[in-house]
Amino acid sequence: MLYHSEVNYYNGPLQSVGVEGIMNRILIDELDTAALRKRIMELISLGTEGDFWDFKKSWHSNKADLLHDIICMANNLTNHDGLIIIGVENATWKLPGNLSIDTNRKTQQNVIDFLKNKHFAGGVRPTVYVRTISIFEGANKDVGVIIVKNTDKTPYFLSDNFQESHKELYKGNIYTRVGDTNTPKTETADIDKVEMLWRRRFGIDKTAIEKLKLLLSKTEDWHPLGTDGVHSSRNSYGKWFNRYYPEFTICYKRNESWPMESGCGIRLNDQEYYWLTELDKVPDFHDFSIFDIDVMMHTTSLFSGKMIMDINGKYSRMWWKISYLLSGSNLNLFYAYVEKDSIEFLLDNFLANCQETIPRIEQHKFISSVDQFKKYYCTDRPYNIIPVFQNNFERKSFEEYIKSRHNDFSREIGNWTKSEEKTGEAFDVNRIKWLCDVGRILVSWLTAWRNENANT
């Protein structure tokens, strides 16, 4: 794995890998400069533009042209992020290398501010990132890249006309890209292309898992099973169905295989639950129950997992995954983590917002579980000790970064000292406290790592 601080330019040969080889990689991770550079080199080597990539010799001098290109890429008909590659001549595929003196050059913030001031239908705007990479072609030459993220919010279109000089984009026109050609500014896309974009928004062509993730993002659409429109049947407690797609159901029930104490809960006898300590600030004891949670489509199980419910009803949380760091060392270090594009995170949002009656569903305002518990604890616990990653790729990259700085990280976290007194629990209180401290350090390092990558 190569990191931004380690790679400043690419000095390998231009080798064509073919369109099929490139099409296998769908989404660009905006934090991985090395992977982005490789992708751009591959596209240049093809000697052509395509469905999701476009070459520009220099930055746009007309803002209507820039907006048009971004909308077309946001509405591209593939499952790829759109790439507007700046600093490449689209006839010779050479690199002028003069971006540093381009007066129209823009930063990511410039582009975001530009889009923010435009009137998009429904207030839904494309998500963009701007990156600069260096490519060796006789000398190091800068290439700018506008990454237009692939989403399910298509089609993007304007609710007001936008004009600069003699060029104008029209409200209601849906612009897309077919092959290497954008929809002309004065026209709208063909009806079959428009239909494809709307089908993407409504999840019509998604797989069962993709559709489930879309449905879970809207907690207000999940109604308690057995409802008469007002009340939930006690026989169906802990069961919900999606009101638009009732074949999708969520249910949870107590896991009876876990040992019970105090008559109603279990003690925190596993270190993997260290993050619960941060919720209650009680370092040596918790009463909670373990539940199995399942998501079904008809009779097919799409997801099975576990959740934790406080016996006093203060919180219900998913049982977060654990990953091991510095394997082979004597630290035996693990940490809990969250991936925001995972079903676990979406279900955690659901648990933070689900209601047992229709009136409560209608009155309840959906809040992300990352923010939900601030109103109970006046803080962002437990996410001050649990890293929240955008996706699995970011987590893996961050773990590689930690391993590359093994000595620095080990010095900062130190080690834990066994308690002299017996606590009567199956874990050592000092180790729980130490794992919480490690979590805080990981969150701090993640923030610094992201800032470093964003500025590279």
pLDDT top residue among 212 and 254: 212
pLDDT of 298 strictly over 90: yes
Between the alpha carbon of residue 221 and those of residues 73, 213, 344, 368, the distances in Å are 31, 13, 18, 15
Residue 284: its pLDDT value, please? 44
Give how far the C-alpha of residue 402 lies from the chain's centroid of Cα atoms, to the nearest Å: 21
Among 23-32, 163-172, 282-291, name the most confident range. Answer: 163-172
pLDDT of 38 strictly over 70: yes
CB distance 83 to 43 below 8 Å: yes
257/265 Cα distance (integer angstroms):
12
Model confidence band, residue 219 (pLDDT cutoffs 50, 70, 90) = confident
Q: Please state the rounded mean pLDDT for residues 167-185.
A: 96
User: If you average pLDDT over every residue of the chain, what do you get?
Assistant: 81
261/414 Cα distance (integer angstroms):
34
For every residue of the chain, which 3-state class applies, written as one string? CCCCCCCCCECCCCCCCCHHHHHCCCCCCCCCHHHHHHHHHHHHHHCCCCCCEEEECCCCCCHHHHHHHHHHHHCCCCCCCEEEEECCCCCCCCCCCCHHHCCCCCCHHHHHHHHHCCCEHHHCCCCEEEEEEEEECCCEEEEEEEEECCCCCCCCCECCCEEECCEEECCCCCCCEECCEECCCCCCCCHHHHHHHHHHHCCCCCCHHHHHHHHHCCHHHEEECCCCCCCCCHHHCCEEEECCCCCEEEEEEECCCCCCECCCEECCCCHHHCCHHHHHCCCCCCCEEEEEEEEEECCEEEEEEEEEEECCCCCEEECCEEEEECCCCCCCEEEEEEECCCHHHHHHHHHHHCCCCHHHHHHCCCCCHHHHCHHHHCCCCCCCCCCEECCHHHHHHHHHHHHHCHHHHHHHHCCCCCCCCCCCCCCCHHHHHHHHHHHHHHHHHHHHHHHHHHCC
Model confidence band, residue 29 (pLDDT cutoffs 50, 70, 90) = low
Model confidence band, residue 1 (pLDDT cutoffs 50, 70, 90) = very low
Among 2-11, 32-41, 155-164, 208-217, name the most confident range. Answer: 155-164
* pLDDT-wise least confident of 10-24, 253-267, 277-291, 406-420: 10-24
pLDDT top residue among 205 and 279: 205
- CB contact burial 431-444 (16+ within 10 A = b; e otherwise): bbbbbbebbeebbe
pLDDT of 9 strictly over 50: no
pLDDT of 241 strictly over 70: yes
Model confidence band, residue 264 (pLDDT cutoffs 50, 70, 90) = very low
Among 5-9, 76-80, 94-98, 154-158, name the most confident range. Answer: 154-158
Domain ranges of the chain: 19-202, 212-454
Provide the percentage of residues in the chain whose pLDDT is more than 70. 77
Model confidence band, residue 420 (pLDDT cutoffs 50, 70, 90) = low
**Closest to 86 (Cα-Cα) out of 39, 64, 53, 113:** 53
**Closest to 151 (Cα-Cα) out of 74, 224, 247:** 74
176/179 Cα distance (integer angstroms):
10
Residue 130: its pLDDT value, please? 94
pLDDT of 248 strictly over 50: yes
pLDDT of 16 strictly over 90: no
Residue 3: its pLDDT value, please? 28
Q: Please state the rounded mean pLDDT for residues 112-132.
A: 94
Model confidence band, residue 226 (pLDDT cutoffs 50, 70, 90) = confident
Residue 31: its pLDDT value, please? 59
pLDDT top residue among 104 and 325: 104
Token pair listed for 116: 């923010």
The end-to-end CA distance of the chain, in Å, is: 16
CB distance 276 to 373 below 8 Å: no
Q: Please state the rounded mean pLDDT for residues 136-165.
A: 92
pTM of structure: 0.66
135/249 Cα distance (integer angstroms):
51
Residue 60: its pLDDT value, please? 96
Residue 427: its pLDDT value, please? 63
The CATH number of domain 19-202, selected from 1.10.15, 2.60.98, 3.30.950, 2.40.50: 3.30.950
